[in-house]
Structure 1
Amino acid sequence: MNTPTNYLINSEELTTLGYTPGRAFGVALRTANKYQHLGKETLLAQFANVLASPEAFAADIVYGKLAQALIEEAAIPEDAYIPLRDAGADYAIYGESHIEAGARAQMDVAMQLPVTVAGALMPDAHQGYGLPIGGVLAVENAVIPYGVGVDIGCRMALSVYDIPEAFFDANQAQFKRELIAQTRFGAGHGFKPDERADHTVLTDVAFGMNTFVANLKDKAWTQLGTSGGGNHFVEFGIIDFATGDEALGVSAGKYLALLSHSGSRGLGATIAGHYTKLAKELCRLPHEAQNLAYLGLDTEAGQEYWQAMTLAGDYASANHEIIHRKMAKALGAEVLAKVENHHNFAWKETWNGQEVIVHRKGVTPAGKGVLGIIPGSMTAAGFLVRGKGEVASINSASHGAGRQMSRTQAIKTISKEAMRAELRARGVTLVGAGLDEAPMAYKDIHTVMAAQTDLVDVLATFTPRIVRMADDGSRED
């Protein structure tokens, strides 16, 4: 795999230069993308110069917008903001050596919020918006829309069938046809009126909470039973219970299983955007913490978001329920066990005797005895786990392997031939997906799992065999 000398500057490199999350940070990323032909070294050097003396670049053709954003940020008086704590509390980090500096920097800022009680960083963590993906944050009487994430209630769902591995191997063409027939993928994609599914979630009174949410109901109905783009998938694989699990009622052995990953689609994304904007207007934080703007749960806005978030989570669950129900019917299969879990959500919990709101952004709940699914990549193993209830992790574990390359870097550095070779070597049939989801873009799932043995016990191992993702590689996730 050849790496080009001039690839897009990433968030971690900007953080290393001294840039902090905020408007100027975004302008810098867009400038790097637009002018990447100037070369990485030149751009990095000039970004450092602009940060040091923005006034000197105010009229520059290339760097003028960045300089202006920095000047405007510096001009906002400090007393216009809700102050952060001078130093954040310590937090647990799992798999620290494999976590990028940008994710650490974001978590450090989150720990300085005046409402923060505790935090933790999972071994699959990487930089996101506001709270890093793989970040856990417990706060007092408040909710952070970007601490939940854009895809509210994104979740995993697993159905274990009474179908042996040998039958699947002998009939893979049939299973591939059903996987394509029973699923629909991609940003903005949905069903025509005569194709739409029905579910009790559409009768939820929360759709009438205000005009904004009510206007999203038709979109929600259109997309009910579909999956997003990006890293969302529905796949067949073989799940291996080495010893069986009495609580699940599954004996030792290998079974065909269906595993899905998706969330609340356009409904959740629109809710997230609306309430993040509102939070930023009501909760003015310093620019490095702007994406962590929060809403008090004792306010009307906070209660509105909480109700809308809960609706989006229930809607995400309904999407998976419809997909799994349709597939079981199409296959004529008995479902031996079903397991699912949210991530990208906020929960009211008790931690160390204190009532808190726990945000898990790309994080699997792992309270004592709680079941969850931690996938790898389209070719790497996934794991059915049972939580140990580790206090330091705030009852949490990773939600997957985690990215080791940005989407842009993956597209620029991974060839189609390399991706096809990896799929062949692993015996995986892929339908859809772009190079940004190539297995090589992700961390080693076994390294991630080794870093969280204190957090979960592994009950079974899932090996992907036929994977369905968005045909157009759309990036809604």
Structure 2
Amino acid sequence: MEQKYEHIDVKDGAPIKSWTRGVPVDDKAKDQMSRAAKMPFIFKHVAAMPDVHVGIGATVGSVIPTKGAVIPAAVGVDIGCGMMAARTSLMASDLPDNLAGIRSAIEAAVPHGRSNGRGRRDKGSWGDPPASVIDAWASLKARFEALCAKYPRLSNTNNVMHLGTLGTGNHFVEVCLDTEQRVWVMLHSGSRGVGNAIGRFFIELAKKDMRTWHINLPDEDLAYFPEGTEHFDDYVEAVEWAQDFAALNRRVMMTHALDALRSQIAKPFDAECEAVNCHHNYVTRENHFGENVLVTRKGAVRAAKGTLGIIPGSMGAKSFIVRGLGNAESFESCSHGAGRVMSRTQAKKLVTLDEHIADTAGVECRKDEGVIDETPRAYKPIEKVMAAQSDLVEIVHTLKQVVCVKG
């Protein structure tokens, strides 16, 4: 198959291979990728996915392979953020005409959003976690306590209280239909408050190490831990734990979302038909071009040959279950979504509530000013994103949401 990437040379750095044909890319994103490509431990090249856009430290939608070092800000603070989807045995005809009850049931079953106030519980966390959450936490508890013994400040975080909760921003729970009118449940979230705390703590620790060693960087957010140091080992251990928390968080939420659906539909249904649970903000050890390397995917999904993944669109757009083609040049990766064309602030300024309502027609979802930053117009067209990476993945199922729960 013809390669679809653009080769970009970076002065004093590794090249960038960019799958962005036909998709808008901000100049600031190109500059940010170039700074990452100048790090001395980049392996081969940096790969840019079609949803690439500016992030903190590293561009969202980039794959950064390294040898001998890891950059905590390239992983980011939403460690292990990713997607899960389950196909049910229900058909569209089994759903009620009015979907408001399903949306309300999911909102009641999965804590979402965020509220702050003295003496008040954050509405996005559990007040009293149900038994299913306590049981799930038991599988993570011992490793977390070991982390806290070394870094006590991590204990003062939302950990068990956030297990099985959604969060805010671009996180969601959706009920979708595929082209055969089968019903799916799909959701997007990560390691929540505890992962955020781990990410921020180690990003600052890496910056402190750089100052201690008098290492000058093209961007302070590219501070790194060299392999073989104590902080490298501790970070890898912490990030692996946060990734496990994120995957478990999605499984717990999926169980609760399916229970909510069952509470609204009398017909018994199975939800084990097909399930996918994949990270898109994470670091892992892999073998590429015959060498063992660390691969950081920030807003990118593993697309090894035959591996299933999920690429969601926006609140009003299609989403895709995909199968990886194992493209070596992308380090067997693909995009994690549509990618933003507007910042949250820009979206709030430029998109009207009427436009948001029109763009989410046919979807049972929030249609208020509070979600304008997540409106479909804030994102790149998902069809163009998919066309730009046709050599990275093949589409297995095309989904369209009918219910969308946002924080």
SS in 2 for 1:311: helix
Q: Determine if contact 2:157/2:193 at 8 Å carries over to the other structure.
A: no
Deviations 1:448-476 (Å, cap 9, x if unpaired)? 00000000010000101110101xxxxxx
Equivalences, count: 372
SS in 2 for 1:429: coil
- 2:127 matches 1:202: no
How far 1:265 moved relative to its partner?
0.6
Q: Determine if contact 2:157/2:194 at 8 Å carries over to the other structure.
A: no
- For structure 1, the residue ranges without an aligned partner over 5 or more in a row are 1-84, 241-252, 471-477
Which whole-Å CA distance do the structure 1 matches of 2:107 and 2:234 have between them? 37
Q: Determine if contact 1:202/1:217 at 8 Å carries over to the other structure.
A: no
The structure having more radius of gyration, on CA atoms, is: 1
How far 1:217 moved relative to its partner?
7.2
Q: Determine if contact 1:207/1:214 at 8 Å carries over to the other structure.
A: no
Which whole-Å CA distance do the structure 1 matches of 2:97 and 2:355 have between them? 28
Q: 1:213 to 1:99 in 2, by over 3 A?
A: farther
Which whole-Å CA distance do the structure 2 matches of 1:214 and 1:156 have between them? 29
Q: Determine if contact 2:110/2:256 at 8 Å carries over to the other structure.
A: no
Which whole-Å CA distance do the structure 1 matches of 2:290 and 2:202 have between them? 30
SS in 1 for 2:399: strand
**Partner residue of 2:31?**
105
Which whole-Å CA distance do the structure 1 matches of 2:359 and 2:189 have between them? 24
Which whole-Å CA distance do the structure 1 matches of 2:155 and 2:187 have between them? 24
Which whole-Å CA distance do the structure 1 matches of 2:172 and 2:323 have between them? 22
- 2:279 matches 1:353: no
- 2:178 matches 1:239: yes
**Partner residue of 2:205?**
278
Which whole-Å CA distance do the structure 2 matches of 1:365 and 1:215 have between them? 29
**Partner residue of 2:5?**
none
- TM-score, normalised via structure 2 length: 0.87
SS in 2 for 1:448: helix
Structure 1 range deviating more: 317-326 or 163-172: 163-172
Q: Determine if contact 2:227/2:233 at 8 Å carries over to the other structure.
A: yes
**Partner residue of 1:222?**
161
Structure 1 range deviating more: 168-177 or 367-376: 168-177
SS in 1 for 2:112: coil
SS in 1 for 2:219: helix
> Which of residues 329, 337, 349 in structure 1 aligns to 2:259?
329
- For structure 2, the residue ranges without an aligned partner over 5 or more in a row are 1-9, 115-121, 263-267
Q: Which amino acid aligns with 1:414?
A: V
Deviations 1:78-128 (Å, cap 9, x if unpaired)? xxxxxxx96112121011551111111111111110111121000000001
How far 1:315 moved relative to its partner?
0.7
**Partner residue of 2:86?**
159
How far 1:156 moved relative to its partner?
0.2
- 2:356 matches 1:419: yes
> Which of residues 392, 398, 402 in structure 2 aligns to 1:461?
398
> Which of residues 116, 122, 126 in structure 2 aligns to 1:191?
126
**Partner residue of 2:321?**
384
Q: 1:389 to 1:405 in 2, by over 3 A?
A: same
- TM-score, normalised via structure 1 length: 0.75
Which whole-Å CA distance do the structure 2 matches of 1:447 and 1:292 have between them? 30
Which whole-Å CA distance do the structure 2 matches of 1:148 and 1:126 have between them? 15
> Which of residues 168, 176, 191 in structure 2 aligns to 1:264?
191
Q: How does 1:406-445 map to 2 (within 5 A)?
A: 406-424=343-361, 427-431=362-366, 434-445=371-382
Identity score, percent: 35
How far 1:369 moved relative to its partner?
1.0
Which whole-Å CA distance do the structure 2 matches of 1:237 and 1:146 have between them? 33
CA RMSD of aligned residues (A): 1.9
Which whole-Å CA distance do the structure 2 matches of 1:107 and 1:179 have between them? 39
How far 1:186 moved relative to its partner?
2.1
Which whole-Å CA distance do the structure 2 matches of 1:457 and 1:388 have between them? 7
Q: 1:194 to 1:361 in 2, by over 3 A?
A: closer
Q: Determine if contact 2:61/2:336 at 8 Å carries over to the other structure.
A: yes
Which whole-Å CA distance do the structure 1 matches of 2:341 and 2:201 have between them? 30
Q: Determine if contact 1:213/1:308 at 8 Å carries over to the other structure.
A: no
Identify the structure with bigger relative contact order (alpha carbons < 8 Å, sequence gap 6+): 2
SS in 1 for 2:164: coil
Q: Determine if contact 2:174/2:187 at 8 Å carries over to the other structure.
A: yes
Deviations 1:241-284 (Å, cap 9, x if unpaired)? xxxxxxxxxxxx33111110011111011111110011011135
Which whole-Å CA distance do the structure 2 matches of 1:217 and 1:307 have between them? 19
**Partner residue of 2:7?**
none
> Which of residues 290, 302, 323 in structure 1 aligns to 2:232?
302
Q: Which amino acid aligns with 1:326?
A: H
Whose helix fraction is larger, Structure 1's or Structure 2's? Answer: 1
How far 1:222 moved relative to its partner?
0.7
**Partner residue of 1:394?**
331
How far 1:329 moved relative to its partner?
3.1
How far 1:239 moved relative to its partner?
2.1
Which whole-Å CA distance do the structure 1 matches of 2:176 and 2:11 have between them? 49
Which whole-Å CA distance do the structure 1 matches of 2:112 and 2:321 have between them? 24
Which whole-Å CA distance do the structure 2 matches of 1:339 and 1:184 have between them? 22
